[in-house]
A and B are shown apart, each in its own frame.
Chain A
């Protein structure tokens, strides 16, 4: 009898993993505020994010073979109740978000101490967890309106986190305000789009939506809904002409926040875009409306070139990386636009690889900011000699950004070129290579500044503390590891791409 009970609890616990994924950080955030002790804030945040990471790993291992976990909140069956649904695509994103959070937190400890006054540090960790909850919720939920709610949880905490940069530079406040305006417009557009879909179908569950929409692609209501959702999410993704909030927000936010946001927030938004384009609206709808040809191709290519060009002429390393992020988002959109299994695999893998690459680079920037008080090129000249470990890791990140063979970045760009060639679009393959050359230019500028120029001041700059170097090097080594060991990334991406392209048949059991 007793063994039976134990067995039963173990079963339920593993059955409840999807909700625990959200609840652990969500409960820990107010816990930090109520306890209110600065010494306890960091440990609680770290334990919560580490626990989430373990759960994400468990979930990923369950679904990587192509399975689906469906969790009904409160036992209310979908489509009426809210459903959490884990498949290969979002388990992979959960893995990325929790993994980055678990590494950013140890890094953040020193960085936050240096960049923020003591009284706000406790609240910082609470907000960080809330932001993570929002991102995880957006990823895991299968209810369209729930996406909006979690999106706003993550966005609101993001605005506050960015504004924390005001202790270093007051422009963080205006950057945060502009993001608030743009982000709210985006989220409201998304809600308008959902309203149209609800009008046409009377349901909000994604699988159910997909089912009921399949007969109504001609309807103007449905098409208007699609357009609103695309633009609304496009603002969050920072698709090229909607990217104006991003450079300032990334530049003036505290380094730890920039690292976390750059590696996760836009990636989660891309995932939502994928989910809506391929699961809620079927591939058949896309073929009918030619959204991909008219919108995605030109914008993706524009982003790849315009943003990379802008990145070359920046004087601030942090801002350069922000523009490079916009360019990298262009690659992900291109993968979606190619509309094939290889293309989607490229998007999903690039989403992950770019996440770890940018995390490594922004961690390096944070270390420079800690030691030399600024991330302007002129201030970090010659730091390759005084901060050898940080700089070496940054260079590895830079190589992965270019897509040098042997790094993670190579794999995704290779797949993208392959996807373009598969369809016979060799000019696009050429453009991908050409824009990578622009990346070579801006990364070379970084190498030149770090290693080939003389330091501008005589003051001795120390190497970054170990608590920052360790996460930085884990990220840098991950860039190399995922360049060679491709089973996890390719496997998850393949399962995810196949499920997405299968449309609703992939959503239903």
Chain B
């Protein structure tokens, strides 16, 4: 869990950030699935003939179901993140956070210079 979160925060490469986010989310999925495990429990499949043995312990299937939903959400997030990176690369010609920040700073400064010069010309 912490590895993924560290990668998201520590790495400057946008793709690596998405990878980190994925690791972070996957670890949460595993956390949920480990929660559903009942010690000595078997797969929660109801016998078709309806004759189940009350002695058998079954694992809890609910966390698995929840995580199926969360996996779908994770895929959507990843694909959207990657799509955004493609657009960012088209506009900035870079996917390194530091380089993008430099470009944004220059845009920001030129904007303000423009604003200031217009202010003086009044």
Q: Which A residues have a C-beta under 8 Å from some C-beta of B?
A: 145, 148-149, 152, 156, 159-160, 163, 166, 170-171, 173-174, 176-177, 180-181, 184-185, 187-188, 191-192, 195, 198-199, 204, 315, 376, 378, 454, 456
Residue of B nearest to A455 (CB): B122
Residue of B nearest to A146 (CB): B69
Interface size of B by CB at 8 A reads 36
Q: List 21 A-B contacts (CB under 8 A).
A: A145-B69, A148-B70, A156-B76, A156-B80, A159-B84, A171-B107, A174-B88, A177-B85, A180-B84, A181-B81, A184-B21, A184-B25, A185-B24, A188-B24, A188-B28, A195-B28, A198-B63, A199-B35, A315-B115, A376-B111, A378-B118
A185-B8, A192-B28, A378-B115 known; A156+B77 contact, CB < 8 A: yes
Most buried by B among A163, A185, A187: A185
B84 & A177 in contact (Cβ 8 Å cutoff) = yes
B43 CB–A CB distance under 8 Å: no
Question: Nearest Cβ distance between residue B74 and chain A, in whole angstroms?
Answer: 9
Contact partner of B28 among A145, A191, A376, CB < 8 A? A191
B66 CB–A CB distance under 8 Å: yes
Question: Nearest Cβ distance between residue A202 and chain B, in whole angstroms?
Answer: 8
Question: Nearest Cβ distance between residue A454 and chain B, in whole angstroms?
Answer: 7
A195 & B31 in contact (Cβ 8 Å cutoff) = yes
Enumerate chain A residues within 8 angstroms of B1, measured Cβ to Cβ.
192
B73 & A378 in contact (Cβ 8 Å cutoff) = no
B55 CB–A CB distance under 8 Å: no
Enumerate chain A residues within 8 angstroms of B76, measured Cβ to Cβ.
152, 156
Enumerate chain A residues within 8 angstroms of B73, measured Cβ to Cβ.
148-149, 152, 156, 187
Contact partner of B87 among A173, A180, A191, A199, CB < 8 A? A173
Question: Nearest Cβ distance between residue B31 and chain A, in whole angstroms?
Answer: 6
B58 CB–A CB distance under 8 Å: no
Contact partner of B88 among A177, A184, A376, CB < 8 A? A177
B98 CB–A CB distance under 8 Å: no
Contact partner of B21 among A149, A181, A315, CB < 8 A? A181
Enumerate chain A residues within 8 angstroms of B25, measured Cβ to Cβ.
184, 188
B49 CB–A CB distance under 8 Å: no
B115 & A376 in contact (Cβ 8 Å cutoff) = yes
Known: A166-B87, A192-B31, A195-B31. 18 other contacts (CB 8 A): A152-B73, A152-B77, A159-B80, A173-B84, A173-B87, A174-B100, A174-B104, A177-B88, A180-B80, A180-B84, A184-B25, A185-B5, A185-B8, A188-B25, A191-B70, A195-B28, A315-B115, A376-B111
